Structure 1
Amino acid sequence: MKSLAKIIRRYVASAGVLVLTVAFFNLAVLYLIGWQSVQRHGERRLHAGEEMEHVAAEFSTADQGTAEHAARYRLSEKGYAYLEEYHFLWSMLLDDGGNVVWSWRLPEELPRSYGLADVAKFSRWYLMDYPVRVWEMNGMLLVSGYGKEYAVKINLMYPLWQIQSFPRYLSIAVGMNVALFLVLALWFAYRFYRSLRPVCAGIDALAEKRPVLLSEKGMTGELANRLNQTSRILEKQDRKLRQRDDARTSWISGVSHDIRTPLALIMGYSEALAENPELGEEAHCQAEAVRQQSLLIRQLIEDLNLTSKLEYHAQPLRMTEYCPAVLLRETAAEYYNEGLDERYEITAEADPRTERIRQQGDIQLLKRALRNVIGNSIRHNPKGCRITLRISEEMGCVIWKLLDSGPGIPERVVDILAGRQADNGKEIHVMGLRIVRQIIAAHGGHADFLKKEAGGYGVELVLPVEGEL
């Protein structure tokens, strides 16, 4: 489950990226609007004062002998072009008495003479709903007007102290906005984390095969519903698997129990026949063969029952203290005490450091694992072989290496035990080695297979060291 701090950091970072993206987007839109305005109104949009100055500069005065006073002022063709270019609808020139001494397209509705109050009004606001520009020119007033729907005129005036304190107010406003943004981002991140926390707990419960029952309300309601459904499905499947495994274990245990009595009779009668002096040599051999096969069947039944219990953790471990080096030597000695065939030789080699190691484990099961490996070498080398048992301590682990001078374990068997190949159960039997791996795994270790130089594989059993004398 992600920590609260990590979720909040990512949420705030994502929100910050979103805000910056929106801000840049708005700046791009404003730039696009400005660019379109320039394309629409010309390559270079001048300040209003510059426009009026350009027009005023194109006025000229006629000869003093002209009879009409209004004819003294003339505008050049370039000046008229400026008026068209700057989108003025009309224009007029007022003398110091407020009278119109020159005009261009002046609407009939506008008066031809203005008082001081009129000039004050339209300079600040509108002239009969026409937005106008005013420019002083040699003691006279140049007035140019736009269409009534062309522009909006706004006059603003602020106290000087407000203008001077604007940067401070702006910094305060920006700081408050940033603080508000952080508070809101943290709040929403915490709410998001709180809504996800049950979902994460449900996922952890599924991983641990525990039932999940989440509330299906809120932002994660649909996800919680899916987790609840998944939990019910997995619980149902797990229940069916347990029932199947219990039935399998019970069947194996029942079959093992039912076979014991007739198998004991067969072994008893075959042994009696093998020792009966009245029977001929051939009958003795047949009785001994029946006895040996009965022993093999009993061993297979015991292996099947043991591997089933180990697989489903139904075999209790009788933990006692033991010395791994001593256990290895005892196992080798048992074979000699049982009358080992002269064709076979078993040697046990122990690193001196292992003599001080003491472990906790089920001695009978561990000895069973060692005997399975040794017995495997004996069965698959009928002409005899040398079996070497070595024990050492490396990197905090006890390592048993069991090798023989014969062909070793076939690669196909190793592939089957490693799950790289299916076990058809017809040509190769791997139950003994599988039990070895299960016993070592039950003690917290693992069994590996070592490639020999002459071909085939040996066995390496690894157990973690628990303590020393």
Structure 2
Amino acid sequence: MKWKLTRRFLGSVVTIVVIVGIVNTILLFCLLILQSMYNIFGTEEGSAENFSRIFSQYVELQNEKPIVNEEGLEKLQDMNAWIQFLNNEGEQVAAFYTPKNLQTEYSPVEIVQTYKYKEVDANTTVFVGKAHNFSYFLGIKDQRIGRYVMTYDYAKVFKYINILLLVFLIVDIFIAIVIGFLFGKRLTTPLNTLIEGIQQLRERRFKKMSVPKGVYEDVFRNMNELSVKLDQHEKERNHLDQMREEWISNVSHDMKTPLASIHGYAELMKDSVTDLTLQELHDYTSIINRNSMYMKDLLDDLNLTMRLRNQQLPLQFEDVNIVGFIREMTIELLNDSPFGDRQVEFETNMDKAVHKVDKKLLKRAIFNFIYNALVHNDENVVVNIRIDNVYPQCEQEQKSSNISTAPEFHTQITIADNGRGIPSKDLEQVFERYYRGTNTTSTHGTGLGMAIAREIILAHNGKLDLTSVENKGTTITILL
């Protein structure tokens, strides 16, 4: 492909050069003919020749001898010229401004020699004219003016012109091939790179190309942008495929246990329906119902976890006063019958802290942390919920630089308990799916609460920290 493009470009260059050469040659011959006929360029020689031919208008006869009138004498002085009149025998009959060493008698051969060649001196060109039956030499002393006499054979001239044109044509074609090859290679190499880049895109290989300077710079830059976008779309597609496969795998894995329980008790009820007591039927249906509800909660939690983790869940942000929001959550918790007599404390050092949050999701995350502290500890555990202002690290720098700007702060939510704590070997697994710890017998929930809570905090661009000491308690810190 590369050489094909080069050959095409080279052929175009050679064709253009040949056509241009032929046209230029024709134009050159036409100009030479016009110049010889009409002196279209108005050269100095043509002006001098014309001056010598029309000078007869300044010549008059006096006593049968030619003289130059005053206007003609002024013209001679302006042209730095002289004039010599001759009779039919070649003898001088009158002269004006002629040099001292100029001969006064000429044979026919000498007349021809004087006209054709610079016989007077190297700076003077002699022209011939006629006035009142007298011939005259008109010499113009000017180094810029010259005459060149040529003799030629038409047949040979055309022969040599043909040979010269052929040589020029061959040389032009050779030069065109060399230049066309060099420029063609330079111009077609980026095209070949572009073609290879398009083939890579077709094969789903998204590789950036180096951007050359020149006419192709924008093309290469757009190709690289296209490659980046296609690469992003490909990664997104692969990511969605992976999400789907992970979702199917998680659902398949997590549904096996409750489905097995439901299937087992359903089979037992079918096979022993006449032998079961009302209490046994009630117990079995309760187990089936509990497992079906667990499956529903598990599906909801799995779906929420996957969407949060992959940033596929749109959050409904609104301005919320965090202090009042968590105070209401604490009251709601204490009004719940299972936790009405539990020790839950709420503290704050401020009245208002407004943040843009998704109330539903943030409420679920904080409730998950509080429920874990209550459910996985003894009934006498004390849970403390505290809200504080925390200034950023750059506050001291602002104070030292005397900048009069309002200091920014973060809202810190701390949920601490004095319960069993978490063993150090389990700390890294707290936010993993289905973690329940080794020092608790509770099986409440789906095992996804902490993982969901962490993803919710991260979705709010918050920070989450957990510290725990065994037999002393656990502290969860949320920074918004």
**What range is the shorter-chain TM-score in?**
0.3 to 0.5
Higher alpha-carbon Rg: 2
Normalised by the size of structure 1, how large is the TM-score? Answer: 0.40
Higher-RCO chain (CA-CA 8 Å, sequence separation at least 6): 2
Normalised by the size of structure 2, how large is the TM-score? Answer: 0.40
